A and B are shown apart, each in its own frame.
Chain A
């Protein structure tokens, strides 16, 4: 089976007006589902993936042959129980796992889009994914769930489609990208742009990839996903397969070797231009600004029950930024719960085996499903 056969795709013929002003139509939306939709169609959960995620949430990713990115949380009897719920996830537009993105061919020019691809936003991503609900004829989801950029999409979804979910679980996220968030994303983008192979985004036509730049982008980002304490405990000053320093610039330290490895495996599965577009979408995200400067306005029309989760060691989207969302919801008397989970694993905690987190998420979903 080649890659294309492993990817389920919807062709969306309904035009979608993007925030940048362009309108797209006949675009593809790649998706995957787990579990089965019940007769009343009220057990649907839409999961939104983060920056480098894709639609292959759990099980084996048929393209990379690795475990799905949220295998700890999603599956039979897991926190998001696929025996109980019908789980859907779509690759975001701008992505590189089958959905309309910069590695696609522009039908007008018959050339790969590259940086001619329109700049997309979190709003655009969510508006594209609503088509999935229509395809499965789901009027109202049981829940929308996502961490990091997935959490931003959860917030945007509820704001755009207040009646289409009963519960919403934004995890380790923010309602607007901070200067520090933008700064780290810009570092990644500049690393890609500085790679000679990038060719202003036209590398595909020359059959090359800006792998060095993309790897550096990933390495820098990866540091932001971990905590200082976590790094220190895992690596400290341990040396990599050597007894002493070599007085050179090889990877003397295990942490160097680890980051280089993270960078090298990333370039095999991710497109550099997609990385530019998706990080841009995150930087542009400012839900309060969309609502005349008042975040509460984003949630005024919804009756959805919110559950917000943050992690103690997450310095990328720290607890306070998650709490700001809680505060905006409480200000309008919305139904919102919040917990901060103790973990040394940094922002990545939501992807990892953090039992308190997984247990709490499961409890919230299963109890809410029994009630409503």
Chain B
């Protein structure tokens, strides 16, 4: 289980309605059912992963979040979760707007491209960084829109999204991101977790 799942779960209230976009093998969905007794649905693009979710008894729709979020009515979920997938979309801006239309709140996690190890990798080696959270080479990575924690905070401000909670993850430990410490968090954390609403 990804360490961020526990933190995501802590952001979600009991018995709420949750949509997990890009739910993979449904591990977060199962965890949320167990921890928070939520009514959770998933969307997953991979056929084998979608079938895997069905075998666990999860309610999921095989589909492409980039196109298939349109079918959900406004505010039909309390939370829409997007865990480390934003950077893989062709149009992350559109996806974020869809998340905030469908969900009363959205929880978005991003691998932080501003993490010092990534910066150092690029500085010293001069090649595209390959890390544990970003394990692919430049030529086969699905991550076409990588950003930093700072980028995401600026993006949210520009779009007037309310960041109800901003957390940075370092050595699997979360800490609050504030305006004052944005620079240091952007350097020291490998993952950003944001609870957003409009």
Interface residues on B, range: 10 to 19
A1 at the interface (CB under 8 A from B): no
Contact of B71 among A305, A330, A367 (CB under 8 A): A330
Q: For A332, A338, A340, A371, which residue has the most chain B Cβ atoms within 10 angstroms? A: A338
CB distance from B30 to the nearest CB of A (A): 12
| B73 contacts A333, C-beta separation under 8 Å | yes
CB-CB under 8 A from B61, the residues of chain A are 326, 330, 336-338
Q: Given A327-B71, A338-B62, do A333 and B76 touch, yes or no (CB 8 Å)?
A: yes
CB-CB under 8 A from B72, the residues of chain A are 330-331
Which residue from chain A places its CB closest to the CB of B61 in the assembled complex? A338
| B50 contacts A367, C-beta separation under 8 Å | no
A64 at the interface (CB under 8 A from B): no
Q: Within the assembled complex, what's the spacing in Å between the Cα atoms of A347 and B183?
A: 57
Binds A, one of B52-60, B128-136, B167-175, B187-195: B52-60
B142 at the interface (CB under 8 A from A): no
Binds B, one of A93-101, A259-267, A355-363: A355-363
Q: Within the assembled complex, what's the spacing in Å between the Cα atoms of A3 and B58?
A: 45
| B51 contacts A339, C-beta separation under 8 Å | yes
CB-CB under 8 A from B73, the residues of chain A are 330-333
B63 at the interface (CB under 8 A from A): yes
Among residues 69 to 111 in chain B, which have CB atoms less than 8 Å away from a CB atom of chain A?
71-73, 76
B157 at the interface (CB under 8 A from A): no
Q: Given A330-B72, A331-B73, A360-B51, do A339 and B62 touch, yes or no (CB 8 Å)?
A: yes
Among residues 326 to 372 in chain A, which have CB atoms less than 8 Å away from a CB atom of chain B?
326-327, 330-333, 335-342, 356, 359-360, 363-364, 367-368, 370-371
| B57 contacts A367, C-beta separation under 8 Å | yes
Which residue from chain A places its CB closest to the CB of B73 in the assembled complex? A331
Q: Given A337-B54, A363-B54, do A342 and B59 touch, yes or no (CB 8 Å)?
A: no
CB distance from B57 to the nearest CB of A (A): 3
CB-CB under 8 A from A370, the residues of chain B are 57
| A340 contacts B62, C-beta separation under 8 Å | yes
B47 at the interface (CB under 8 A from A): yes
CB distance from A28 to the nearest CB of B (A): 38
CB-CB under 8 A from B58, the residues of chain A are 337
CB distance from B15 to the nearest CB of A (A): 15
| A339 contacts B57, C-beta separation under 8 Å | no
13 extra A-B contacts, CB within 8 A, seeds A339-B50, A370-B57: A330-B72, A330-B73, A332-B73, A333-B73, A333-B76, A338-B60, A339-B54, A341-B47, A342-B47, A360-B55, A363-B55, A364-B54, A367-B56
Shortest 4 CB-CB contacts between residues of A and residues of B: A367-B57, A363-B55, A327-B71, A338-B61
